[in-house]
Structure 1
């Protein structure tokens, strides 16, 4: 899929002043940019966003793919926020922006004269979105908000991995991504509210809170029942069989999420005895007898390859699939007609997963190159 520079987006005419860096904020503003917003990314002169230097790997243009992956469709503006001239330019940008996004530590933007109340004096309709690592309290403001640390202190590592003695982080900065999505939803809600009332507002979120919210059933189990979850590897705490199995070649994920799917799964395995066994008649009973059930299933699955089992299970509607690496994942998406890769002026990027029938996302420009010592974008 090639870049599309002609279609009107849902957020055409919205100007976003993006003072954020690294991942959570830039991911949110890229989603807004894909939907048509004009995003002006403020970067330090000659240094830029930290992720410009997070490589290898590098793309054909020499740019870190980490940076490129969350900054398409943006313009980059070099502003020295430590200089009077730079601050004046930043304030001018904030004064005309519909949305301002930043992830400086609490108090920094206020010291620069760019806090919400200061910006709102000249721009009362501004949607002012800030995200932090651990909130705005005195103690929270002391802590640096990096995804690895939040996965540790926020409980995610405690439910990830094979056992409690070896906590494991998720293989991507998932808390940053989820926080960016939460922030983006808040921005869209605030824009809708402004359309109805004419009033802007301030939005705040933080990695820690988004981590707890995004742990869904695990955090709900603690909040609602005092249940402290433990790591189960690829197993599910409340469903069986719902995990990854070894096969004759490759690993296979199987999600038999209800009794009907379980019976169909056993039919493909040609193991009616697993259906007839009263100890396995319902999901709670299967969870209770998981240690007896899983080895029997895996022994049968080792008679065919993961791909062979996938084809058989797909035919009867049992959710299952081989465990792919990145190349396999993209190939699988392509086989489904999902077009996972888009090309923007020779730069390949991952397609935005949203499909909007009337205002589709657009791909107007790749991530911007490093801005110079000073640059200026005039309205």
Structure 2
């Protein structure tokens, strides 16, 4: 089956996580994503992201092809510019000044190929007082506000358990690239699309950020409780914890009936949605006292049957053992030439007739000769580049 982006060629200059996450979105849907890496002799460190055969690297670079190209070598840079003429997209996450120093900023690329779309991810933006600072996910989590609202009240700042800024910057950049490609169909010209970890993190603060920008309301840590909806949070049962989300009068009526707390619900603190919002601790205490009387599994079944969103709090082994996760096929086996069959997490977007992921992360430079040949380089030209240590 021809995949949706199979007509798109992407030159991937990214590293670590945010940039590779962006390119992986395109690769998963069939774009010919060519990972351009420095030759091993000048890139001896593993860098962040772990070993090439480790889970992190295998996750973010799947479905790509790999070539080696030394962009610090004049002939290597010339070869890259020659490839740009036949590409659709270039993605990079260097510090903002690096691409201009190499001569591969948007204006330089557009002069070669006016249809090119350049996707750039930085730590803090392409200009401004922090532009040349090195970007790192946890720094963006702190600066963008996430750490101030994560954790228990009074606990102090807490980082999220996943690299939220890296991942969302990658996703936003991919959305921008796809938008620019759609516009190119109409205008015939490419675009420079750029975002940063900081911009992505502030955007991901969503309603928490807008509570401040619109009304000056300062979001605080609320732990496992939802910051505005009561009752929504974590509750203990006889043998474990569960999540319950029961905001609004109709949902509250269902939870009152299921937990058989009609008498308690008549008290002024619980009688209305406004009262419950003002008396979260009292609402939670009433629910908690009742929920301790049965098991997590029984409450999850009973509350969901009543239409109250309720679920377990799973560790990762329980996530992939969950019958719904297994039904959705979120772990997909891929054959790796040395690791054998490995399970990777598929894209969460379903499009019938497609399979993601399809291929493991390639070895460094695995496709150099094939790819350069497809871009019009002759065997003699490839051999000369290799002789000059440009590959």
Matched, 1:204 2:194: yes
Q: Deviations over 1:267-299 (max 9, x none)?
A: 111111243334323333211011111112111
Deviation, structure 1 residue 326: 0.5
Q: Deviations over 1:107-160 (max 9, x none)?
A: 211111111000101110011111111012242223211101110111100000
Find the aligned partners of 2:297 and 2:346 in 1 and give their Cα distance: 26
Matched, 1:31 2:14: no
Q: Structure 1 residues 168, 52: closer, same or farther in 2, change over 3 A? A: closer
**Which of 141, 157, 160 does residue 131 from structure 2 map onto?**
141
**Which of 172, 176, 187 does residue 182 from structure 1 map onto?**
172
Q: Matches of residues 63-82 of structure 1 in structure 2 within 5 Å?
A: 63-82=53-72
Q: Deviations over 1:62-113 (max 9, x none)?
A: 7110111111100112222221122122222222210111110012111111
Q: Matches of residues 1-379 of structure 1 in structure 2 within 5 Å?
A: 7-46=1-40, 47=43, 54=50, 63-332=53-322, 334=324, 337-345=327-335, 346-357=341-352, 360-371=354-365, 377-378=371-372, 379=374
- Preserved CA contact (<8 Å) 1:11 1:35: yes
- Preserved CA contact (<8 Å) 1:48 1:370: no
Query: TM-score, normalising length from structure 2?
Result: 0.88
- Preserved CA contact (<8 Å) 1:9 1:361: no
Point out which structure has higher relative CO (alpha carbons under 8 A, 6+ apart). Answer: 1
* SS of match in other structure, 2:85: helix
Rg: which structure is higher?
2
Find the aligned partners of 1:48 and 1:34 in 2 and give their Cα distance: 28
Query: TM-score, normalising length from structure 1?
Result: 0.91
Deviation, structure 1 residue 336: 6.2
Deviation, structure 1 residue 28: 1.4
Stretches of structure 1 lacking an aligned partner (at least 5 in a row): 1-6, 56-61
- Preserved CA contact (<8 Å) 2:168 2:200: yes
Find the aligned partners of 2:347 and 2:235 in 1 and give their Cα distance: 31
Find the aligned partners of 2:169 and 2:12 in 1 and give their Cα distance: 16
- Preserved CA contact (<8 Å) 1:22 1:49: no
- Preserved CA contact (<8 Å) 2:149 2:220: yes
Stretches of structure 2 lacking an aligned partner (at least 5 in a row): 336-340, 375-391
Deviation, structure 1 residue 364: 3.0
The CA RMSD over aligned residues, in Å, is: 2.1
